[in-house]
Amino acid sequence: MEHKGNGAMTGTLLLAAGALIGAGAALLLAPKSGKDTRKDIARYAKHARRKAEGVVGEFTDSVSEMVDAVGDKAEDILDHGKDLTHEAKKELIGAIEEGRKKLERQRTKLEKMIA
pTM of the model: 0.40
Q: Report pLDDT for 1.
A: 46
How does pLDDT run along the chain (115 residues), one tens digit per residue?
455 556 777 777 788 788 878 877 776 776 767 788 788 888 888 888 888 788 777 878 877 888 788 777 877 777 777 777 777 778 878 888 888 888 888 888 877 777 6
State how many domains the chain has: 1
Cα torsion at 29, 33, 36, 41 (round to 10°)?
30
Cα distances (Å, whole numbers) of residue 101 to 11, 41, 52, 95: 68, 88, 72, 10
Range of the domain at 50: 2-114
